[in-house]
Structures are given as C-alpha cells and as structure tokens.
Structure 1
C-alpha cells in the first residue's frame, strides 16, 4: 500500500463524525420505538458500511461492492427476522458516498455496475418497510434520495475531470502545431551554417589546403548540433506534445508591448549565442508568465524579469508583487499555460517552478541547460 492510501484526508474526520451521530440517533430511535436490542444489528451493519466509506480511497471498487453487499445482506436479514427497516440513515449516507466516489473515478462499466447496484439496494428497501404498497416508505425515499445525490455528484465530478483533460489535450495539440512550424526554422538555421562552411571549405581547398582540416571540423560540429537540435524538437513533438514558438522580436519588444504593471527587465549584456530552441523557449516562458500576470495579478505594481546564464544553464525568473494568492487557488493560476512550459522544459532537460512569493506576489523560475557546443572555426 502506498503513502497516498495511508494519508488521512481532511473530510474523513467530518464524515466520520456525521456517521457516528447518525448511528447514535438511529440506535436511540429504535430503542424507544422497538425496545430491547433491536438496534444492535442495524447499527452494526451500518457501522461496517460507514467504515468502508471512510477508507474508500484505498480501493474504490472493492469498497463500493462491499458496501452494497453488506446493505443487501442487511435488507434480507431484516426482512426475514422482522427487524427494523434497512438501510438506515447512516448506511444510506455511506452508500451515497460509496456510489458517488465510484461513479466519479472508476471506468465506465464498473461505475455503471456500482450505480445499478445502489439503485437495486434502494429499491430493495421496500421489502423491510412494512408500509402498504400505495405509499412510498420513508426508508425507500431516504435511500433513493441518497442514491440520486451520489450519482449526481459523481457524474458532475467525472464530467469536470473529463473537461480538464480535454482542455489540457487542446493545449498540447496547439503547442504541437506551433512546433511543427518552428521545426523548419530550426533545421534551416543549422543547415545554413553547414552550407556556408562547406562553401568556405571549397575555397580553402583551392587556396589554403593546410586550413581545410579545421573547416571540415567546423562542418562536422555544425552537423552534430543540427542533429541534436532536431532530435530535441522531435522529442518534444512526439512525447511532450509541446513546442517553442519562433519570434523575430526580442524580449525587450515583448516588455514594451506589455499592457500591465511596469516591467524591470534584466538580460545578458552580450547577445547570447544560444540554440534557437533555447531562445524561443526562454521567450515563451516570459510571454506566458506575463500573460498570467495580466490575468491573475491585476493588483501588481511591478514585474521583474531576469534572464541570465549561470554556467551551462539559462535561468528565467519572472516575479510580481501582486496580492497574496489563497492556498486553494495556488494550483489554478495559469495552470494550463504553465503545463506546456513545464513539459517542454523537462523534455529539454530543464525545470519549472511556479508558486507564491513570501509575503505576496508570484514567481516563475525556469532553468534550461545549454547543450554542449564546441567552438566553430
């Protein structure tokens, strides 16, 4: 069993308290109306189903199936032994939780089977109701209402998760199309260098044969770089579904066009000689970060953008001084835009960290290693 299965979820204590109250209420009501120990069987069966509802995240299908089986057994025993009607309030709530959890997460066939089983249990409560057929028994109404609530909540959660997956897939497809357009530019960049050096080699072969070896070495290096760059981009296209986007304008132009807080831009002093896939990825990280500032940090007064080379890696940091981000919203800020950035950086061997700053504001920090390059002659 992994750590997630052993973790105590925040709703567990609250739900357990509700179950305990319902079980105690049911026991008192049965003791007052039926007398004796008639409450013992129903409360014991209800406690078992409630326990399965509390540990449902470990094995949702098994927990739901077990709860339905216990409920079915409780109905049959209650009917045969003339005991109080089942399932009681606590068991009905537990079954609603189990059915909703199964419908929201299990595969369609299993989710449908659990939902059908829950409906059958609700209908089976008619056996123990002791009410004329012309009236709908309260215990059946209780269980039917719990089943409807569980299925409705489960389906809503399932549809929301499917919507999120669809949006994420659209983001990846959009980036993949952009990569297809850039692949031509990146390859052309390297191939042009190879052609120029090959032309220079022809001249050297006629006029300075002694320098031909160095020129051929440069051609070999340029070809190796072209192959490596192409492989990196194709890996992004096939696996990450993400892509850098070519831009003729620089970061300074991007900052000048930004319609938002004042930007303090720090760039390398010299024009960096980085591979095209690196420079375009840097641009996209800054662009996406500024987009998130304009959408989510409307109270920010300034934005700091720093691009620097630290050894064999490029770092990009974008931070703002907007209002503090509530903990429940931290995972939503720019989630889909940063999804593509993170996958691209990881595919190129880099990392992306995004989160609130101490006090207030938000920071995006990207690190992208530079591929090994030999000096061209």
Structure 2
C-alpha cells in the first residue's frame, strides 16, 4: 500500500533512501547530543541565549526527532498494516529502556547525586523512589523529583526533564494506528489535513488565544510528526538534494526570528534531517548500534549528578563536554543490555527507529 505511484523524477527521496545505507541513526544521535548542550544552560544556572538561538539550539533537537519518527513510523505502518505487530514494536522500542531508566535513576543515579552533593538521604526517600518509578511507568511524567532531590542545584527537584516528551511520542504512534485501522491513509488529504490542524493549533497558542498546555504540546509535536509523515507521503516526488538542504537550513534560521519558528520551519526541518540521513551513505555514519534513544533518556540525570557534584560552576561548554561521554557510556549499556534484547522479542531483525525525542 502506498500513497502515490513511483515518480519518474530521478533522485527523489524514495529512490535515494536505502534501508541499509543511511545515516538516520547518526542524525538522531547528533540531535540527542544537541539536547545535552541545550540542557547545560538551565542545569548550570546560565541564562538562556537570545530567542532565535534558544529556538534553534533548544528546540530543533526534539523537533527533528519527531519529524524523523513521523517519516519512519508511518512507513512502518504502510509496509505492514497489522495492529499487533505495530503496537508490539512500539512498546518494545520505548518502554523497556524507559522503565530501566526510571529504576536506575531511583536506585543508582539519584543516590550518587545525593552523596556527591554531601547531603544525607532525606526522610521518605525509599517510598518516594518507589513512587517515582510507579507514578511515571505509564510514560506520562507526574513525578520529577525524589523526596525533594536533587537539591542545591540550579535546577532542583527534577531528575529527568527529558522523559516527558515520550508520552507525546507514543500518542503520535496511537494516532497512526487509529488512522491505519480506519484505512484512512488511502486518502491523500488526511496527512496534510492533520498538518494544517496542528499548525492552526500552534498559531492559536502562539498568539495567546489559548494557554492550554496540552494544546500547545499536542500542536507542537503533532506538527513535527505530521511534517515527517508528509515527507514520507510525497517521497516519490520530493528530490533529495544538498542544495535544497541548504535552502531549508536558511529558512529555519530566518524563521527563528518568529515567536514560534515551527510555523514556517516545520517542513524545512523535516526535509533537512530526513534528506541528510538519506544522502549520507559513508560507512562511518551508518551506525549499526543506535544509542540515540539512550543518549536522550540518560543525559539529564547524568547532568544533574554533575551539577550535584558542583561542576555546574565550570560553565556550559565544559559541563556539556563532561556530560557527553558519560551519557554515551550509559546509552551504550542501555542499547546492548536493554534495548537490543527487547527488540528481538518482536521476532524480526533489529532495525527500527527510536522515539523522539528531546525536551525543553
């Protein structure tokens, strides 16, 4: 089942993309690393840079993740429109590593941070740690701290400020499932209509007509996911060209001057990250082991441990430089110990995208 017939245009995304020879894992890793840099501002108590820089550095990582996810997840359904294999694959990709992160944070990472801060364990830590795991196990983050920790850091009472986006990621998966079960992907207007609907929601919240947080987040993440899905829908006619990537980058940069750059930049971001991943075929960038998800989910608690040790005083560049290799070590362990074994339970070869992710 496909959205369109194969175009005769040479060098389209459809013709250029090779499942075994692409750099999408490398692109996702770069996006995850950009989140570490961005989080180094609030986690060191450094004032945020100007609004355009904040948008480009602080939000393109998450937005790019959602765009790639929209491209690959819709593709996954179109290639195999079966609800249980689809849902099983999504569960196995997100939840085991997510649960492991919650448990490891409560039992190991947070205690290390508390000890490095020179503080004793607060009263009720054990009960709060159990609550941290159980209350957040359904992907919707409702408890960020554990018994008032981390304390004495620039960003207190939050051990992981990144995981909240996974809830919205999974909601996007469920929307794809619902549209697939209703057989609506056969109508070419459906994905563009969802894109326009999310764009309208974003404009409503950006202009202050609504201050509903769910509408704001749903519009933002839905827009980027739909942008990736649109690239997939029109992959047979969209050319994959480096010069167009450059044009997209310029549009994104200029749009950062707007109150919300996604109003203009959503599709250019989606085109840019997907096309770069498609065009780069060098072996060095074909990452067989996808540590981008682990990088995303472990970076924040690692940075909070560093802040608890007083390293936030070193400033953003040094703080980020220390956090990156430590995070990559945990991410690599997460891939080999949790993620890859879990994905084998699908009964298929381990080639699937991670969730998207990134945080404010």
TM-score range, shorter chain: under 0.3
**Bigger relative contact order, structure 1 or 2, given CA contacts below 8 A and separation 6+?**
2
Answer with 1 or 2: which has the greater Rg: 1
Going by fraction, where is strand more abundant, 1 or 2?
Answer: 1
| TM-score, normalised by the number of residues in structure 2 | 0.21
